Copies of this chain bind each other. A is one copy, B any other.
Amino acid sequence: MKRIAESTVRRLSLYLGFLEDINRRGTTTVSSEELAKLGGTTSAQVRKDLSLFGSFGKRGLGYSVTELLERLRRIMGLERRWRVCIIGAGKIGAALAQYEGFSQRGFDVVAVYDSNPARVGEALGDLHVRDVAFFERDAESEKFDIAVLAIPARGAQKMAERVARAGIAAILNFVPGQLTAPPKVAMRTVNMAMELEALSFALTNRD
């Protein structure tokens, strides 16, 4: 498959969310115009995005909601479940470990790690925090697909490299500082301080 821009992947996620809503309401077809309106884009953009993955829909009839849903889910790898481990059981890691939104979308949090002995053994929902010293051993036997890094900036780069060496090819990064994705690892970053700084900037530079 040719390389797909990040912004396209983002729109595919949006379309998927809309289609799930539309499907729940029992609507069976949708036009590119409707998807465009929901996603704040143009119908030409919607058709272009979807055409990347083969031909969908019929001119004038719109798309079949169930067919489009199924194909989008397959394209995005969401017709299966993913095994997620969380590294860092502080405030953010602990909240993520218990966040139901993940399993609802097909992402099962199966392990949580910390290096702090005071946290190891602590219960988080159905899981108990494990000692990160056992991370490599577990990754081998439990086949984690995605690692969520919710640890302080200091030591985070080394941990990202441990993740990569353990054969995990995707990182969701909550580290509050600079982190470079190891080679061949897909990484997405959620930097809440940076989002707040953008709001501070917007409030400060209003007209």
Contacts and interface: CB of A to CB of B under 8 A. Distances in A.
Contacts of A195: 172, 188, 190
Interface stretch (A58-66, A71-79, A134-142, A156-164): A71-79
Interface in A1-55: 1, 4, 6, 9-10, 12-14, 16-18, 21, 38
Contacts of A145: 203
Nearest to A4: B205
Contacts of A84: 196
A26 B121 CA distance: 40
Contacts of A98: 91
B192 A76 contact: no
A126 interface: no
A191 B17 CA distance: 12
Given A78-B197, A95-B94, A98-B91, A178 B9 contact: no
Given A9-B197, A82-B203, A107-B200, 10 more contacts: A13-B193, A18-B178, A76-B200, A82-B200, A84-B196, A92-B99, A105-B193, A169-B206, A188-B198, A190-B195
Interface of A: 1, 4, 6, 9-10, 12-14, 16-18, 21, 38, 75-78, 82, 84, 91-92, 94-96, 98-102, 104-107, 145-146, 169-172, 176-178, 186, 188, 190-206
23 contacts: A1-B205, A9-B198, A9-B201, A13-B191, A17-B178, A75-B201, A76-B201, A77-B201, A77-B204, A82-B199, A82-B203, A91-B95, A91-B98, A94-B95, A101-B176, A104-B193, A105-B193, A105-B196, A105-B197, A146-B199, A170-B202, A172-B196, A188-B195
